[in-house]
Amino acid sequence: MNLEEIIAPLPISEFSLHLSDGRIPLYIPGGPLKFQKLFNKLKYWECIERGKPEGAATPRASLSKFQLPVAYERGAIKRAIRSGNTVCVSHIDRASDSLRALCVETEALIGFPGAACVHCYTSPPGTGYDFFHVDGGIAITLQIEGTKDWEYADTSSLPWLTRVGGYREPGRLEWFGDPGWHPKEGTFSTPDVMKIQKQTLKPGDLLVMPAGVWHRVKSTDQTSLSLNLKLTHTTTIDVIIQLLRSACMDNELWRRPLPFTPAGGQDSWTPDAAGLSLYHDLLLQLKDAIDQLSLDANSFAVNWASAFVGSQNEIVPQPDFTLIDNNQVFALPQLVSPRVVAHGSHSATILGQGRMLSIRGEGVANLLQSILRAGPFDLSAALSWSSASSFTETDVRILLEKLVRAGFLHARRNVTL
């Protein structure tokens, strides 16, 4: 089942436009069997039985509003559900080829600057995250089985929020996630002053919850099974900070540590006059770095592209690969759909599924596009595509090696085309 079928009757262009606004919830009703091809209770237990990929931290299971961990195995999860707890299996797409494919497709079709994953919620009757809370990122809920009562604000109090916060205890707002920042009191509206809507989700219904929308959820008198297609964006400040860091690290002033300060009295780690002078010097240097970057559009283009690499997929790099002979066949790995971003005629970036690789050379963007459009191909085919570029046979060999080592291509020997 693809994204177009999931969001029908809304076209992808309108859906993408609505998501990019980042403020207003969206409800799309559907028939009871709409999502059954994509997911159901049987497929849920198949994902549990499949277990985690070797060496992976996800999927993982947790229960109740306090996110207590549960062993990722059938018996433990069944016991948790029978005890009357909502169980969340986060990143269940890591155990489902169809859900992983949906994540990759969604990232590409809506042009999302970030990554997609899927969480799954099983809620016995009368349970759920029934306290007002806000989430970071866009949450697209697909109701699979049972019904669930939603209460949610008509607009986001904190558009493009990157943290999770909520009132697990009455009158006490807690924040979770990035400890370096949380919204300041008074800069956002709390749920008690917001206009609250009510909606009961039935099987086949879809609900988009933008980041920062106050909401609470509880299953009705039936056990609810739902999916959350979660879109986590790359913030603009992250792109700029990455750009500034790359520029500033060429200067020793930014690489050095703060002045050594041995432990002493109460104020031993408080900046003295010299420390404050250093602070002002750094701010002046930062201004100079920003002025230089304003003249370097190419660096910004590369960092811009980095926001669209998407979520890590089943890319299996071959870091030691060497193109030994001409009897090797290359092909895109399954479920890998990288994209090419051209930076003028002499540089391009290939990106997707959590990885990116920048390549230089006249005509490189067209050469990469030819490689990605092809089915299985060999070296001679790649050389024929390179005729319109400045790439020699040695250059093409090096390019293919880089793509295989990064995981964008798989290489096999002794295969008949």
Predicted confidence (pLDDT) per residue in 166-220, tens digit: 998 888 999 987 777 889 989 999 999 999 999 999 999 999 999 999 999 999 9
Say yes or no to pLDDT of 84 above 80. yes
Judged by DSSP in three states, 261 sits in coil
pLDDT band at 314 (very low <50, low <70, confident <90, very high): low
Residue 332 has pLDDT above 60, yes or no: yes
Q: In the structure encoding, which two tokens stand for residue 242, read together? A: 């990455």
pLDDT score, position 334:
60
336 against 116, higher pLDDT = 116
DSSP per-residue letters across 366-394: HHHHHHHH-SSEEHHHHHHHGGGSS--HH
Q: Quickly state the pLDDT bin for 315 (edges 50, 70, 90).
A: low
Q: What is the pLDDT of residue 356?
A: 77
Alpha-helical segments (H) within 84-166:
97-109
Residue 263: pLDDT band (50, 70, 90) is low
The pLDDT of residue 417 is above 50:
no
Indicate if the pLDDT at residue 241 is higher than 50. Answer: yes
Q: What is the pLDDT of residue 264?
A: 63
pTM of the model: 0.78
Contact by Cβ (8 Å): 84, 124? yes
**C-beta neighbour count of 242 within 10 angstroms:** 16
Stretch 29-57: mean pLDDT: 89
Max mean pLDDT range (18-32, 42-56, 91-105, 252-266): 18-32
Per-residue pLDDT at 246 exceeds 90: no
Task: Kindly tell me if the per-residue pLDDT of 268 is higher than 70.
Answer: no
User: Positive or negative, the Cα torsion across 277, 282, 283, 287?
Assistant: positive
Per-residue pLDDT tens digits for 358-397: 888 888 888 888 888 877 888 888 888 887 778 888 888 8
pLDDT of res. 23: 96
Residue 140, pLDDT above cutoff 90: yes
- Average pLDDT on 45-57 reads 80
128 vs 149: CA distance, rounded Å: 9
Query: Shortest CA distance to 317 belongs to which of 354, 349, 347, 342?
Result: 354
Confidence (pLDDT) at 416 = 46
Strand partners, 328: 413
pLDDT score at 39: 97
Query: 317 pLDDT exceeds 80?
Result: no
Mean per-residue pLDDT for 244-248? 85
Domains of the chain: 3-234 (2.60.120.650), 237-258+269-289 (no CATH), 328-413 (3.90.930.60)
The 10s digit of each residue's pLDDT in 280-306 is: 888 888 888 888 888 877 777 777 776
Give the sign of the dihedral formed by CA 241, CA 103, CA 112, CA 22.
Answer: negative
Q: Which are the contacts of 264, defined by CB distance < 8 A and separation ≥ 6? A: none
| Overall average pLDDT of the 240-246 stretch | 85
